[in-house]
Amino acid sequence: MKVRSSVFASFILILEGIGVALFLRGFFPVPLKSSISSKNKLSDLPVEPLTGSSPNSSRLPQPLFKRVVIMLVDALREDFVFGPNGRMYMPYTRHLVERGSSYSFVAKARPPTVTMPRIKALTTGTIPGFIDVVMNLNSPALLEDNLIWQAKAAGKRMVFYGDDTWVRLFPKHFMEHDGTTSFFVSDYTEVDNNVTRHLDSTLKRDDWDILILHYLGLDHIGHISGPHSSLIQPKLMEMDDILKKIHSALISKEAEGSLPYLLVLCGDHGMSETGSHGGSSEPEINTPLVLLSPAFKRK
């Protein structure tokens, strides 16, 4: 009888162990890593016939834009741009959304709504895992196939200023970068000034194809005093002025007959009603995505 009880108890323990292992494997999935040599290349694209071409034609489409500027504002909630206060918080951006040559969307960020997993999701197109929350404190180089690697492989010259998580994820991809740490949460001024101080000179240059900016100040204000703080409006107006500066500079450098520019405004995640993030509430997962280009029809 004791033997049968011991066997049954052992079976239950083994079953529980398997159950725990399956739970951990599902809740904390380990992302598949791909070596540099195994990443997809443009030449790997399947053959796609073009109009007037032979069925075996595999010519790649011509680029649509000459330059791309990505302005990522950390913790930018969609209602900060599209909500009732959007015209007051970000008047220039709101005007472009409603009247300019633009497309705008509400993008939904999959949890965990933390910066490093969200950057990985934006650049790889994969759903982040909760294990990435732990890795957020010390982000290793990203080995999965991603847009930044593909851009570099295509010969695009990239410049980055902002959250140094990007520099850790893509350590050898930017021809120029200046990272700012995200762990001095009480600082919401210098952390953004360290990004903006590069703009005047960089926007005048012609030696880059992609410019990525990651602003942290809004996120820090959220952590300090929440989304309804008196500090929110001045910070959003600052971001609006920066977008206006970038937009005006791109317009002034646009030459007749050349390819148009593309300016992207987005957030990596939103913020909750208490100013935090990481979960799956609507204010945390809903972020604005605004695409600006003269290639789009004016509204």
Q: What is the CATH number of the domain that holds 285?
A: 3.40.720.10
Residue 278: the pLDDT is 85
How many domains is the chain built from?
1
Instruction: Flag whether 64 is in a domain.
Output: no
Give 108's strand partners: 286
CA atoms of 90 and 80, how far apart (whole Å): 8
Q: Is the pLDDT of residue 47 over 60?
A: no
DSSP 3-state of 186: coil
Please give the radius of gyration of the chain, using alpha carbons only, rounded to the nearest integer: 23
Decide which of 297 and 79 is more confident. Answer: 79
Q: Is the pLDDT of residue 185 over 60?
A: yes
Residue 85: the pLDDT is 94
Confidence of residue 30 (pLDDT cuts 50, 70, 90): low
CA atoms of 78 and 69, how far apart (whole Å): 20
Tens of pLDDT, residue by residue over 96-148, are 999 989 999 999 998 888 888 899 999 999 887 665 555 555 667 888 899 99
- Taking residues 70-91, report their average pLDDT: 96
CA atoms of 199 and 110, how far apart (whole Å): 31
Instruction: Flag whether 17 is in a domain.
Output: no
Decide which of 248 and 33 is more confident. Answer: 248
CA atoms of 86 and 76, how far apart (whole Å): 12
Instruction: Flag whether 6 is in a domain.
Output: no
Instruction: Flag whether 35 is in a domain.
Output: no
Q: What is the DSSP string of 89-115?
A: HSHHHHHHHHHSBEEEEEEEPPSS--H
Instruction: Flag whether 141 is in a domain.
Output: no
Decide which of 83 and 52 is more confident. Answer: 83
Q: What is the DSSP string of 199-220?
A: HHHHHH--S-SEEEEEE-HHHH
Instruction: Flag whether 16 is in a domain.
Output: no
Residue 36: the pLDDT is 47
Instruction: Flag whether 42 is in a domain.
Output: no
Q: With beta carbons less than 8 A apart as the criterion, state whether 202 and 208 touch.
A: yes
- Taking residues 255-263, report their average pLDDT: 85
CA atoms of 268 and 219, how far apart (whole Å): 10
- Taking residues 62-84, report their average pLDDT: 95
The residue assigned the tokens 């021809």 is: 175
CA atoms of 272 and 283, how far apart (whole Å): 5
Q: Average model confidence (pLDDT) for the chain?
A: 86
Q: With beta carbons less than 8 A apart as the criterion, state whether 166 and 160 touch.
A: yes
CA atoms of 45 and 53, how far apart (whole Å): 17
Q: With beta carbons less than 8 A apart as the criterion, state whether 296 and 102 touch.
A: yes
Instruction: Flag whether 3 is in a domain.
Output: no
The fraction of the chain above a pLDDT of 90, given in percent, is 62
Return the top range by mean pLDDT from 118-132, 249-263, 272-286: 272-286
CA dihedral 128, 130, 136, 138 (to 10 degrees): -110
Give the domain range for residue 270: 77-133+146-292
Q: Is the pLDDT of residue 252 over 70?
A: yes
